[in-house]
Amino acid sequence: MSDSEEEQVKQAPIIKPHQKQQKDFYAEQLQANEEAESQAPLLVVVQGPKGSGKTTLIKSLVKHYTGQKIKKLVGPVTVRSNKQHRVTFVECPSDINAMSDLSKVADLALILIDASIGFEMETFEYLSLLNNHGFPNVMGVLTHIDFFKDNKQLRKTRKKYKKRFEYETGGNYKLFYLQALKNEYYLKQDIHNLARFISIIKIAPVRWKTEHPFILADRYEQSKDNTTTFYGYVRGCTYRLNDRIHFVGQGDYYIDSFEEVLDPVEIITTQKKHRSLKDTEKLVYAPMSSVGALTIDATAGYITIPQPIFTEKNKFVNNEEQEDDEIEEQEQEQEQELPEGVRMVRELQQMTEGIDKQLEEEEDVQLLEGFELEEDKPIKKKNNQQQIQQQRELVRLKNRVNIKIENGTVMPITDTLLATDLHELIYQNKNSINEFDSVRYLPKVQERESYREIKELFVTGFYGQTDVVDLENLEKQIEEEELEEEQENKNNNQNQKDDNQNQKENQQERQQLVNQLTNSNLGLYKKGTYVKIVIKDFSSSVKDDYPMILARSEVGEDNLGFIKIRIKKHRWHSNILKSNDPIIISLGWRRFQTIPIYCVQDPNDRLRFVKYTPEYDYCYAIFYGNFAPQGTGLVCTQSLSNKLSKFRIAATGVVLEMNHQFDVMKKLKLVGEPFKVIKNTAFIKGMFNSSLEVAKFQGGLIKTVSGLRGHIKKPSKLGPDGSFRATFEDKIQMSDLVFCRTWVRMHIERFYRLITNNVKLMKTMWELRQEKQIPLEFKPDSTYQDQERVPVKFAPLRIPNNLQQNLPFESKEKVKSLSFREKLRQQVEKNLPVKSNMTDKEKEVYSLIQRLNTIKNEKEKKREQKDIQKQKVKEAQIKGQKQHLEEGKRKYKQQKQKDKFIKQVKKQQQQQ
């Protein structure tokens, strides 16, 4: 090694082994996350107070990404931002439940702030929710900036909001400014900048999501028998199928079927250099909103097709004139030249009756060209080759399009077509797209084969063997055939490079297919898979504008037990929380009402019960609820009402421990007083009610106020029932109080109520008091009272002479050293003439002094009395003024109410 290299090595920072391990660990975690992250669409939650511009922002972003205009925004909207990246936007309602649910699932939260108003309470509430549910990436967006006309004021405000936003979020997140509104959309440049940041943002892994898979349903269908089907992407992590699912905010349900379906916004995997999208590749998937001419409601999807495009030119010519055979033949020829998709749609347009009616009237209904519905007739036997072909198509179909159209579905025959699956059929025709699809809803180009697949869907009972499909054999057959095809292609292909490329791609595709099959057989659905979940007997009602989160029911997390959490009252919540008062907790996927008790930990690890949460400090809470992993954050609220009169988040916390029981102890001080004292023994009454209670506490420790310790001996027959004999380390005073410190185990209520749509909640003490008009209980004992303490005069210490004589010299009482005052007094006493020996003059002087003293004392007494009277008068004056003031206030209020009432009456009269 050369010198310079050695120097370099010396200067390099030393990485310790554990640091390296940690670095490697994080690198791996990041890489794994990045790989996984690329699959599921980025979930962007747009949150803000009412009227802050959430809808406008989503519409503007969708327009930027796809050029589409959303007329009415409902539910999630997924767009393709580039070939490898998709984004789902969800608007967050200002309902506390929706806010809490969406804070758990968001990858990125766009927090809108109305600059004309400033930071509102919802923003802080949402930040607090995000903080406790894993803090995903956050971006601030300042809207209504055009409200400021003065540039200087605008600059100042922007700076102020930026500072505040940084302070609230920890300083790592950006605040965007949306300058103005133009034609109901934000300015292009602003949206372009924001969209660019959204596209390149690196998502921080949130622990809860990396361990808990979920589906944010972007579409649902509900039938009359309450069978509900939800569609959405698997998010969070790989979904390992089990039999139950938790619908957040609704409860647990058994899954009827769970299958992968065709991804509506597929990732484009072609290996071309450009990441940017062509116009035909731009895509928006907003099944519940109305995008252009497409609307999907709970039961079906409808495409509004502009009439002029579909009207055949010679359709309006009088039919009688057209009876000429030649013309008909010409028409048929022309029709056959048309693309298949266009022909089918036209045929459907010409239908006047639904299939069910047709079935009732005719025996052989020809729904689509070449296929007949025959109920009773035996199934036509085709040759082997054809059957294999059909089965093969069905297997492909089963994996790709899981759609069933039951016999007798009624199709509305107007210019609006039933498009549950028809849109696939219609838009798969490459040539016909531009003819009738003015909005380019799904510009997806597929092989002609898929028409046949979909045609088959309209026919029930045609293929006899479709129900039982030998999957394994079919897969093998398909693979073999494909291999053969590839082999042929290989031989025929002249370009060797292209051939290799194709082979690689095919191999990859096949591998993917095999992986897909094995995964779905094992019940594994990777992140980003678009799935369909069917739930039977789904009794709850679903709101369109409410997030529909279907989470995997994890083993153990639906169990109930006691949970110990560390909790802190939110500094902006106006009240402290009371033990045994019901509270709503959002923990894990679940929200539930429970009755907690609060406690603190003593130095000897005892959990000591406290009546209220401390004002600005942490304490523990124990409640009965759903188990959740240690370290999971939680948020408490006191009610579900969305009145913004006070800060809705009552407390925040984190799970510490779960157990079947916790010992929370409450301190109990029993007080008694002695009624007989004999040396070190004392008889004490008033501490217990019966001798049985005494027997239970026999041997217990007791203590006097002065600190003398003792033991409870035995129940005594002297005194009232419950009296006992006790011994102390010294003789106690009759005036002493005796304490016995004990601990009582607190009962924790096993109360748990999952919050669903129409749940009836337990009322808090405050709510009950309000409702029943019960005033607060007043216990005079609980209030502090001024104590009048009489100074105790202890008798001077007198040591018996016998004892003094036996004492060592050191402790013996010596000659008393007197203080100056005492000496003076002694001298005066000595010099005072004895009264009987006084001369007359001395007597006169003495009596004069005494009189003068009496006068002085008398004067002082009078002055004191006067002072007391003056004080009383002053107090009375203050009291009177107060009463007067209150009286005035009351009158003013009455007058105000009167005025208000008169105004209202006048208004009503005017309106009438």
Ligand X SMILES: Nc1nc2c(ncn2[C@@H]2O[C@H](COP(=O)(O)OP(=O)(O)OP(=O)(O)O)[C@@H](O)[C@H]2O)c(=O)[nH]1
**Least distance in angstroms from the C-beta of 650 to ligand X:** 24
Task: Among 41, 42, 43, 53, indicate the residue that binds ligand X (CB under 6 A).
Answer: 53
Burial of 460 (0-12, 13-18, 19+ CB in 10 A): middle
Distance CA 586, CA 610 (A): 23
Of 178-197, which residues contact ligand X (CB under 6 A)? 178, 181, 184
**Least distance in angstroms from the C-beta of 69 to ligand X:** 14
Residue 578 has a CB neighbour count (10 Å cut-off) of 16
The 30-49 contact track toward ligand X, x by CB under 6 A, reads ------------------x-
**Least distance in angstroms from the C-beta of 546 to ligand X:** 13
Of 103 and 143, nearer to ligand X (C-beta) is 143
Task: Among 40, 41, 43, 52, indicate the residue that binds ligand X (CB under 6 A).
Answer: 52
**Least distance in angstroms from the C-beta of 183 to ligand X:** 10
Supply 482's token pair. Answer: 């494909």
**Least distance in angstroms from the C-beta of 145 to ligand X:** 6
Of 54 and 685, nearer to ligand X (C-beta) is 54
**Least distance in angstroms from the C-beta of 473 to ligand X:** 55
**Least distance in angstroms from the C-beta of 142 to ligand X:** 9
Q: Provide the CB-side half-sphere exposure for 802 (13 A, CA).
A: 0
* Options 50-58, 450-458, 628-636, 801-809: segment touching ligand X (CB under 6 A): 50-58
* Options 138-146, 285-293, 621-629, 869-877: segment touching ligand X (CB under 6 A): 138-146
Could you give the strand order of the β-sheet that contains 70-72, starting from the edge strand earlier in sequence? 70-72, 290-291, 294-296, 301-304, 416-418
Of 111 and 702, nearer to ligand X (C-beta) is 111
DSSP label of 15 = P
Distance CA 672, CA 722 (A): 10
CA distances (Å), origin 332, targets 327, 328, 346, 723: 9, 6, 13, 114
Residue 703: strand pairing partners = 709, 739
Of 159-178, which residues contact ligand X (CB under 6 A)? 178
Nearest C-alpha neighbor of 109 from the set 87, 135, 71, 133: 135
| Alpha helices for 714-777 (secondary structure H) | 765-772
- Cα 388 to its chain centre, rounded Å, is 52
Q: Which residue is nearest to ligand X (CB)?
A: 53
In our burial notation (b when 16+ CB lie closer than 10 A, e otherwise), range 347-383 reads: ebbeeeebbeebbeeeeebebbeeeebeeeeeeeeee
**Residue 532: strand, helix, or coil:** strand
**Least distance in angstroms from the C-beta of 56 to ligand X:** 3
**Cα torsion through 30, 34, 35, 38, rounded to 10:** 170
Please name the amino acid found at residue 732: I
Of 371 and 546, nearer to ligand X (C-beta) is 546
Supply 639's token pair. Answer: 């009610």
Of 55 and 503, nearer to ligand X (C-beta) is 55
Of 137 and 143, nearer to ligand X (C-beta) is 143
**Least distance in angstroms from the C-beta of 645 to ligand X:** 19
Of 74 and 433, nearer to ligand X (C-beta) is 74
**Least distance in angstroms from the C-beta of 181 to ligand X:** 4
- Cα 520 to its chain centre, rounded Å, is 31
Task: Among 6, 29, 32, 50, indicate the residue that binds ligand X (CB under 6 A).
Answer: 50
* Options 53-61, 311-319, 621-629, 810-818: segment touching ligand X (CB under 6 A): 53-61
Q: With beta carbons less than 8 A apart as the criterion, state whether 65 and 42 touch.
A: no
Of 517-556, which residues contact ligand X (CB under 6 A)? none
Q: Which residues contact 523 (CB under 8 A, 6 or more apart)?
A: 240, 241, 242, 258
Of 73 and 355, nearer to ligand X (C-beta) is 73
**Residue 555: strand, helix, or coil:** coil
Of 61 and 595, nearer to ligand X (C-beta) is 61
**Least distance in angstroms from the C-beta of 116 to ligand X:** 8
Of 143 and 652, nearer to ligand X (C-beta) is 143
Task: Among 22, 23, 51, 870, indicate the residue that binds ligand X (CB under 6 A).
Answer: 51
* Options 54-62, 694-702, 704-712, 829-837: segment touching ligand X (CB under 6 A): 54-62
Categorise residue 226: left if φ over 0, alpha if ψ from -120 to 50, beta otherwise: left
Of 143 and 593, nearer to ligand X (C-beta) is 143
Nearest C-alpha neighbor of 441 from the set 338, 546, 346, 301: 301
**Least distance in angstroms from the C-beta of 114 to ligand X:** 8
**Least distance in angstroms from the C-beta of 49 to ligand X:** 7
Of 120 and 721, nearer to ligand X (C-beta) is 120
Task: Among 54, 235, 440, 685, indicate the residue that binds ligand X (CB under 6 A).
Answer: 54
Of 189 and 805, nearer to ligand X (C-beta) is 189
Which residue bears the tokens 């009277």? 869
Of 53 and 674, nearer to ligand X (C-beta) is 53
Residue 532 has a CB neighbour count (10 Å cut-off) of 20
Of 39 and 179, nearer to ligand X (C-beta) is 179
Q: With beta carbons less than 8 A apart as the criterion, state whether 292 and 75 touch.
A: no
**Least distance in angstroms from the C-beta of 176 to ligand X:** 12
Please name the amino acid found at residue 569: K
Q: Provide the CB-side half-sphere exposure for 851 (13 A, CA).
A: 6
**Least distance in angstroms from the C-beta of 48 to ligand X:** 5
Distance CA 139, CA 186 (A): 17
Please name the amino acid found at residue 87: V
| Alpha helices for 47-90 (secondary structure H) | 54-66
Of 74 and 726, nearer to ligand X (C-beta) is 74
Distance CA 723, CA 308 (A): 104
By CB under 6 A, residue 123 contacts ligand X:
no
DSSP label of 147 = G
Q: Give the pairing of strands 77-82 and 85-91.
A: antiparallel
Distance CA 685, CA 689 (A): 9
CA distances (Å), origin 305, targets 289, 413, 719: 17, 12, 100
**Residue 879: strand, helix, or coil:** helix
**Least distance in angstroms from the C-beta of 146 to ligand X:** 5
**Least distance in angstroms from the C-beta of 177 to ligand X:** 10
Of 48 and 287, nearer to ligand X (C-beta) is 48
| Alpha helices for 610-714 (secondary structure H) | 691-696
Distance CA 789, CA 48 (A): 61
Query: How many residues line the site for ligand X (CB under 6 A)?
Result: 14
Of 143 and 632, nearer to ligand X (C-beta) is 143
* Options 11-19, 139-147, 333-341, 757-765: segment touching ligand X (CB under 6 A): 139-147
**Least distance in angstroms from the C-beta of 191 to ligand X:** 12
Task: Among 56, 68, 78, 637, indicate the residue that binds ligand X (CB under 6 A).
Answer: 56
Of 142-161, which residues contact ligand X (CB under 6 A)? 143-144, 146
Q: Enumerate binding residues for ligand X (CB under 6 A).
A: 48, 50-56, 143-144, 146, 178, 181, 184
